[in-house]
A and B are shown apart, each in its own frame.
Chain A
Amino acid sequence: MEDLLLEIKDLNIEFHDHDAPERVVSGLSMRLNRGEILGIVGESGSGKSMTAMAIAGLLRRHDMKISGEIYFEGTEILHAGRSELRRLQGDDIGIIFQEPMTSLNPVKKIGWQVEESLRIHRPQLSREQRYALAIECLKSVELDEPEVIYKKYPHELSGGMRQRVMTASAMICDPRLLIADEPTTALDVTIQLQIVKLLQKLNREKNTSILFISHDLSLVRKLCGRILVMHDGRVVEEGDSHEIFTHPRQAYTKELIGAIPRMEKLQQF
């Protein structure tokens, strides 16, 4: 019996800030189960981030037209107001972005940023309890010397460390869903693998569902059981990741697989 966490039905997103309306997501439907890691792949501009923003309720609504339904734990969240969203989503969704340079606030210390969710959702905690949780969380994303990092500013950390901190602050309230929007794209290959391993670990230990977005098929394949291939705002193929890799049905998917460097393919088979 599958345990549904997130369901999107016929999502459409259209921009109206230029002369001709621009449809960036059309007729997208998908389901994500509890504890599952779902990959979304597609070239850049295919609407992956817009889909993620819609799930997170972060679309600015006044210059776009949105239709469809998004159910999170059975409740419709796409058309909910901001205060309603805060109550519904609360601490249930966390997000990690692509660019480690802009994903942390440059003028705030790491500790402060990691604790922010706690201040909002666990106001009953004392300062010491918050500190303890933050340190524990920094440890769980495998940062050495969390007490030292706690007191640092983002510019004092490397890109990979910043992505870990970002992950820590997204995970500190134990969300049910973690959206990772190209979390490794800006990083070196070795660090990419470390972050992927980290996400795997968090998924296993906390049973957090992960929506892993990437244009890198080989990375998605390592992490995800199921894959959604997007092209021009549409889902062109969906299925078991092994299946898609070995028997891609769509020309576009074949192209994507063909774009993976040869060496890497050899290593995987």
Chain B
Amino acid sequence: MKKWKAYPVNFRIGAVITGIMLLLIVIGFFYTPYNPTAMDNSAKLAAPGLRHIMGCDNFGRDIFSRVLKGMGNTFLIALATVVIGVVCGTVVGAFTGYYGGWLDEVLMRVNDVVFAFPSILLALVFVSIFGTGKYNVVLALGIAFIPSFARIVRGEFIKYRDMDYVKSARLAGVSNLRIIFVHILPNTLTVMLSSVMIGFNNAVLAEAGMSYLGIGVQPPDASLGSMLSEAQTYLFSAPNYAVFPGLMIILMVLGFSLLADGIKER
């Protein structure tokens, strides 16, 4: 491991922000100050204070507790989305890039079609067919994410497939699968890692957007997006209701962006 000081500044700041966010998420899984779905009539739209540090929403639910839970939901959905996108995108990109030829032509045209749809629109179509709910959102967003990863990985494989060390592996009789996954794939890891982080950010934003539109996480469950959506009616009377979930989205995205930048710089 390199010394902490040897990493670029943005990487370090990103690591700190991301670390705090992850810590909050983990805490949120096991402990929240209040039950995030319990309503308290006496505390409707309470301002931030000692009892409720981020205040309460229009049902009198503790916003801090809901933010903690909501971050977890948003994070898990974004993570699952990225995993689907990365795994499928890597496989598609690796094969098309390595083999080229007609397989490449066909898959890349399919890729272009999927890519041409804005991911939110694709997800909307998906949800209108299969219904709302977070699993459908994950699936829809995940599929929408495949093309961009496939493209990146394909570019990397085209770059590496004619390298001399790949040629000697082919001559030595190493199977194509082994060349793809054992010889070439590890070379693409840095590029992948930074695009995974950018992809993760897009997924956080997309999830927020979906939940904001009411097709993602369903009430009374919280996600950062659904909280923003509920908060917009009270934007002026209770700005804290929107500010805290919004701030958390910004911090999550910022932390990962800085990390991604830092990785690219190395």
Q: Bound state CA distance, A61 and B101, in angstroms? A: 10
A103–B164 CB distance below 8 A? yes
Q: Is the CB of B167 within 8 A of A97?
A: yes
Tell me which residues across on chain A come within 8 A of B174, comparing CB atoms. 116, 120
Residues in A whose Cβ lies below 8 Å from that of B186 = 107-108
**Is there an interface contact between B165 and A103, defined as CB atoms closer than 8 Å?**
yes
Q: Is the CB of B173 within 8 A of A121?
A: yes
Q: Convert B154-166 into 0s and 1s, putting 1 for each residue whose CB lies closer than 8 angstroms to a CB of A.
A: 0000000001110
The chain A residue sitting closest to B190, CB to CB, is A107
Q: What chain A residues lie within 8 Å of B173 (beta carbons)?
A: 86, 89-91, 117, 120-121
Compute how far the CA of A173 lies from the CA of B163 in the bound complex, rounded to whole angstroms.
22
Question: What is the CB-to-nearest-CB distance from B242 to chain A, in angstroms, rounded to a whole number?
Answer: 46
Most buried by A among B164, B169, B174, B183: B164
Contact among A94, A99, A105 for B171, CB-based, below 8 A: A94
Determine how close the nearest CB of chain A comes to the CB of B83; give it in whole angstroms. 23
A169 to chain B: which residues have CB within 8 Å? 168
Say which residue of B167, B169, B187 sits within 8 Å of A106 (CB atoms): B187
| B100 & A62 in contact (Cβ 8 Å cutoff) | yes
Minimum C-beta distance from B222 to chain A (A): 42
**In the assembly, what is the distance between CA of A102 and CA of B189, in Å?**
18
Q: Could you tell me the distance in whole angstroms from the C-beta of A104 to the nearest C-beta in chain B?
A: 6
Nearest to A61 among chain B residues (CB) is: B101
Given A113-B165, A120-B173, A105-B100 contact (CB < 8 Å): no
Q: Does A198 contact B (CB under 8 A)?
A: no
Mask of B169-184 contacts with A, CB within 8 angstroms, 1/0:
1111110000000010
A54 within 8 Å of B by Cβ?
no
Contact B171 A62 (CB under 8 A): no
The residues of B that contact A113 with a CB separation of less than 8 Å are 165
In angstroms, Cα B172 to Cα A93, docked, is 8
Residues from chain A with Cβ under 8 Å of B172 in the complex: 91, 94, 116-117, 120-121, 173
Q: Which of A88-128 contact B (CB under 8 A)?
A: 89-91, 93-95, 97, 99, 102-108, 113, 116-117, 120-121
* With known contacts A90-B173, A116-B172, A117-B172, A95–B167 Cβ distance under 8 A: yes
The answer on a CB contact under 8 Å between A89 and B171 is: yes
Contact, CB under 8 Å: B183 / A62: no
Q: Which of B167, B172, B189 has most A Cβ within 10 Å? A: B172
Closest 5 CB pairs of A and B: A97-B164, A103-B164, A86-B173, A105-B165, A117-B172
